[in-house]
């Protein structure tokens, strides 16, 4: 019985030690490097010509074209910039667009959302 208690106490101490070690580690990480989702546009370098336009050509323009089934075209920078906040709402936040799906992938949403958050520049 005594042996058993000693053994259990050992496990208990090991458990406490591990728990404390883990807590300390988490705290340090939280201070030193914020979780990726808190700064989700950090390191995302989304450019209009290289990233955004090809994405919109691929995922939006078969409807958002003059004479297409969508009520406005998304072809030029000016057209896209004018609708930037609607585009973010429709395709990044709520996945209403592309109409009928499939929704943009997480990576595509990041490109579009971070480009818009960065001021929707013609870059
Ligand atoms: C299959 C055709 C189709 C595709 C693909 C499509 N749209 Fe649309 N879109 C429409 C139609 C039709 C409307 C008119 C409103 C409606 O019917 O919902 C519309 C409306 C919109 C609107 C305004 C209304 C709203 O819901 O906010 C935005 C913004 C928009 N589309 C953005 C996009 C973006 C960005 C893409 C590509 C990621 C895209 N759409 C792809 C058909 C499409």
Q: Which atom of ligand 1 is nearest to the CA of 87?
A: 29
d(CA 97, CA 117): 18
Q: Is the model's pLDDT at 33 over the cut of 90?
A: no
Residue nearest (by alpha carbon) to ligand 1 atom 36: 60
Any atom of ligand 1 within 6 Å of the Cβ of 101: no
d(CA 94, CA 88): 8
Q: Is the model's pLDDT at 16 over the cut of 50?
A: no
* Closest among 43, 62, 112 to 84, alpha carbons compared: 112
Extended strands (E) in the chain: none
Question: How many Cα atoms occupy the beta-carbon half-sphere of 18 within 13 Å?
Answer: 6
Break the chain into its structural domains and give their ranges.
Answer: 2-33, 48-117
Compute the average pLDDT of residues 57-80.
Answer: 98
Any atom of ligand 1 within 6 Å of the Cβ of 70: yes
Compute the average pLDDT of residues 46-53.
Answer: 98
Any atom of ligand 1 within 6 Å of the Cβ of 82: no
Q: How far is CA 16 from CA 19, 30, 78, 80, 100, in A?
A: 5, 21, 60, 56, 52
Buried b (16+ CB within 10 A) or exposed e, 5-17: eeeeeeeeeeeee
Q: What is the pTM of this model?
A: 0.77
Q: What is the pLDDT of residue 98?
A: 98
* Closest among 121, 105, 111, 122 to 41, alpha carbons compared: 111
Q: How far is CA 4 from CA 1, 12, 107, in A?
A: 5, 12, 54
Any atom of ligand 1 within 6 Å of the Cβ of 98: yes
């Amino acid at each position: 019985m005594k042996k058993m208690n000693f053994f259990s106490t050992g496990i208990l101490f090991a458990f406490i030690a591990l728990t404390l070690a883990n807590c300390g580690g988490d705290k340090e990480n939280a201070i030193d490097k914020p979780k990726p989702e808190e700064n989700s546009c950090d390191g995302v370098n989304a450019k209009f010509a290289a990233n955004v336009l090809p994405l919109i050509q691929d995922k939006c323009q078969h409807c958002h074209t003059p004479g297409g089934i969508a009520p406005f075209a998304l072809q030029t920078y000016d057209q896209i910039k004018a609708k930037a906040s609607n585009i973010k709402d429709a395709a990044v936040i709520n996945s209403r667009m592309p109409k009928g799906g499939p929704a943009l992938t997480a990576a595509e949403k990041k490109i579009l959302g971070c480009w818009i958050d960065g001021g929707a520049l013609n870059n």
